[in-house]
Amino acid sequence: MIDVSGNDVIRTPVATINEQGGPFIGSTALSDQKIGWVQDLRSLGLFGRAWAVGVVLFSVARALLTWPTLSTYGVDPWVFLAIDVITAPPYGVGQALTVKILRDPSRHTRDATGWAALVVVMFLAPYIYILMASGERMPLAAYVLVALWALLFGTLAIVRMRKQVLADDDLA
């Protein structure tokens, strides 16, 4: 259920009290508990935050490794690095929250949709910049390599997230 402010609402049963001060047997009232993106961010633990930092470090390493090749084809390595580093934290946080929400049996799967969409957009942004900035200067083989690189790391991210969603509680 969505409230008027656009936040998801979970309806949880709450025991009611009868006139004698005791609970009604088999009777419940419903209490609304709002689940918003701010609460999702706050609920992200140390592991989730560390994951986001790791993604940023990976992005910096990737940009440094591709630096010489990028400049050869007219791609500004500084702009690529900026896009990669700016998109890395929302990508890492989005991954962690998508997994957290999908593992939570009290949350509906659609609650993860926005976070998953953020992951996809942040993942693709640096690759789209490479393809757009290079224009026709890049040979077909380079386009294929960029596409294969994105496909490889995209697949690895999906597999890793799926494993985390399906993992036993003890291992997650």
- Give the C-alpha separation, 54 to 144, whole Å: 27
* pLDDT tens, the chain, 172 aa long: 444 444 444 444 444 344 444 444 443 433 344 556 666 666 666 766 677 677 778 877 877 777 787 788 888 888 988 998 899 889 888 998 999 899 999 989 999 999 999 999 999 999 899 889 888 788 888 889 889 989 998 999 999 899 989 987 654 4
Q: How many of the other CB atoms lie within 10 Å of CB of 128?
A: 14
Under DSSP, the state recorded for 167 is S
- Three-state DSSP class for 44? coil
Largest Cα separation within the chain, whole Å, is 82
pTM (2 d.p.): 0.65
Report the distance separating Cα 64 and Cα 164, nearest Å. 29
**Residue 74 contacts residue 134 (beta carbons within 8 Å):** yes
Count the neighbouring beta carbons within 10 Å of the beta carbon of residue 55.
24
pLDDT of residue 33: 45
